[in-house]
Amino acid sequence: MAAVPAMLLAADLSWWQLAVSRVRGEFQSWVTARKADGWEVATGPLASGGWPYAATITVPNLTLRHRGPDLPGTIRWASASVVLAVPLFHPTEMSIDLEGPQHVQLGASEDMIVTSESIALQIDFIAHETLPLTLRARGVRLEPAAGTWHATVGLLSADAYFALLPVLQQPAATASLSAEAIGLPATFHWPLGQAISSLALEAKLMGPSPVARQGVRSWAETWRDEGGSLEISNLAAGWGPLGVSGGATLALDDQLQPMGSGNAKLVGFADALDKLAAGGVLTRSAATAAKAVLSLLAGSGDGDDPPTVDVPLTLQYRTLSMRQVPLVRLPELDWPSR
């Protein structure tokens, strides 16, 4: 009887050592694969820990850099510390905690710094038909190294599933995202206000996935020609006086510009249109026409609640329209060759 606890501790320690070895092996395989793809990878000395509940590997000063012609300029990511953890009671899942400042730089753009209370990713060791990826973050702050502006997100949650084997009529990827307490940079003028109270999105991507080393424009043409589409089953946001929810299906036209149709339920549209016109997003005439149409379609609110309205939306030739009333013309989407 007295030997049983010692045997259990010894078994747990052996299992922990095996799990640590596995996590180290997975990380080294990942580093080897990234180097084969042209990435420069640098880290500090790895440290093991987590016993008796988990097998953890701490990777200090992890830096990734790519300068090859297959990407649009230099890409650099540096993390103060990355902690890889596998629970001993659930060894098929691995969590990735990003600790300290995260530096991201794309091409000649300014070095961006991401800080947070917590950022955690979770992946599954076992490869099924789809690869699941989960992101949870709290207290996120994004700002350039010069500190000229910053944006914040109170809570961020995202779940995505990527198809490992292409199947006809099955989505190549599905994703859901929710965010709360979004603070936009104060250095820019936002007609609907600097704060977005909430944002939620559920979508799936149909069509072929990009092929390794395939040009971006070439993939976009293939995706369009093979019936690719982005199906947004739910989009909900609260921004200033405007509350919007709805869905849409988007694709690419013969000029590789977004086109599609959808439906939106609007709350507080009158104040929102006035603010958009005052901010120069819409012309006065477009805002007046939209308010007239929406007012005719709107149902009366309950008590002091503002009226709500369901409207169809179309996007064609870079123009977003509501019941054939043009609202705004979007800038041209310029697809890079690489």
On whether residue 144 sits in a domain, the answer given is no
Q: What is the pLDDT of residues 151-167, one digit of tens each?
A: 999 999 999 998 877 67
* Per-residue model confidence (pLDDT) at position 251: 95
On whether residue 29 sits in a domain, the answer given is no
What CA–CA distance (Å, rounded) separates 117 from 141? Answer: 9
On whether residue 323 sits in a domain, the answer given is yes
**DSSP letters spanning 190-239:** -TT-SEEEEEEEEEEEESPPPPTT--HHHHHHHHHHTT-EEEEEEEEEEE
On whether residue 213 sits in a domain, the answer given is yes
On whether residue 117 sits in a domain, the answer given is no
On whether residue 336 sits in a domain, the answer given is yes
On whether residue 30 sits in a domain, the answer given is no
In this prediction, residue 77 has a pLDDT band, given cuts at 50, 70 and 90, of very high
* Per-residue model confidence (pLDDT) at position 68: 63
On whether residue 272 sits in a domain, the answer given is yes
**DSSP letters spanning 228-290:** -EEEEEEEEEEETTEEEEEEEEEEE-TTS-EEEEEEEEEESHHHHHHHHHHTTSS-HHHHHHH
Q: What is the pLDDT of residues 163-188, one digit of tens each?
A: 877 676 788 899 999 999 999 999 98
Task: List the structure tokens of 267.
Answer: 């709350």
Asked whether residue 212 carries a pLDDT value surpassing 60, the answer given is no
In this prediction, residue 230 has a pLDDT band, given cuts at 50, 70 and 90, of very high
| Structural domain span for residue 268 | 199-338
Q: What is the pLDDT of residues 231-262, one digit of tens each?
A: 999 999 999 999 999 999 999 999 999 999 99
Is 269 exposed, middle or buried, given 0-12, 13-18 or 19+ CB atoms closer than 10 A? buried
Tell me what the pLDDT averaged over the chain comes to.
88
Query: How many domains, the chain?
Result: 1
